[in-house]
Amino acid sequence: MFSININYGLNDSNIVRIINFCLLKLEFNNQNKKITNLNTFYSFLYSISRDENNIKDKEEFFYRIEKILLKKYHKHDIWKVIVILIPLSRLCNVDIGYLIGTNIIKLSKKYNLETERDIYNILNLATQKLKVTDNDYEIDKLSDLIVTCILLVLELSSFNGRKEFDLNCSENTILIWLTGYGNYLKYDNKISSCMEIINCGYKYDEIMDKLFLILKVVYDIEVENYKDINEEFNWERISEEIFLRIL
């Protein structure tokens, strides 16, 4: 019987079990026997979801997994929930627009995240905590929370003007968040100031690995394809592309 220890929320081992269970039920288990790294799991689930031969009549299975995830997550897990559910929804023929809209609202309202300022305040506090901690578990949790913040700003921007949210987001808002995350040394804004606080290579690299995965799974953007003539990532172009996709 499939179960998850609720005391640990969506830790890495539970997520691996969830994805393995999904792959088993969707009959992809034989292709995935040797995959143990969590990011590889995410990427594999994403890659098979792009196959045009999506599995039919799996809506009930999808909603079962969705229910499990929405019960077990903590605030810092929100990005993981979305990164699992989006490719899974493709495999199960569940409307992705509906998925993103309803779940982002559910996940955000649980923690009273209704404005861009709410999300920025969490980011600011998380980066300050990350700077001073050497605990591996806390580093993972805080880096998860930091990437959750940018995902929420990007996704909730599509709800701007609705009564549920007052983000006051614009193309410039998305530009500030993405450039601040992507290259805090080049850009000078409130988000780059937060990221600069971390001031530690491996902690920042962990955040960027997760951000690259989010951009790939949620927006079909391969960041490696957005380099300028100096071989630096062009975060302004990435921002423009995302803004067009969330309109």
3-state secondary structure of 174: helix
Query: What distance in Å separates the CA atoms of residue 245 and residue 174, rounded to the nearest whole number?
Result: 12
Q: Structure pTM? A: 0.80
Given a cut of 70, whether residue 9 has pLDDT beyond it is: no
Q: How far apart are CA 148 and CA 99, in angstroms?
A: 17
The maximal CA–CA distance of the chain, rounded, in angstroms, is 53
Average pLDDT over residues 211-235: 90
Q: Is the pLDDT of residue 239 over 60?
A: yes
Can you tell me the mean pLDDT for 213-229? 89
CA angle 233, 181, 198 (to 5 degrees): 120
Per the CB < 8 A criterion, the answer to whether 226 and 238 are in contact is yes
If phi > 0 it is left, if psi is from -120 to 50 it is alpha, else beta; for residue 92 that is alpha
- pLDDT confidence of residue 105: 73
Q: 136 versus 115: which is more confidently predicted?
A: 136
Q: Residue 121 above 90 pLDDT?
A: yes
Rounded distance, CA 154 to CA 235, Å? Answer: 14
3-state secondary structure of 188: coil
Alpha-carbon 65 to chain mean position: 17
Residue 203: both structure tokens together: 């902690």
Q: Check: CB of residue 211 under 8 Å from CB of residue 181.
A: yes
Name which of 62, 137, 132 is nearest 93 in CA terms: 62
pLDDT one-digit tens code per residue, 51-67: 645 555 677 778 877 87
CB-based contact 228:139 (threshold 8 Å): no
Tokens of 11: 């830790």
Rounded CA separation 218/68 (Å): 20
Tokens 């509906």 appear where?
Answer: 98
Cα–Cα distance, 204 to 17 (Å, whole number): 27
Is the pLDDT confidence value at 189 over 70? yes
Supply the pLDDT for residue 123: 95
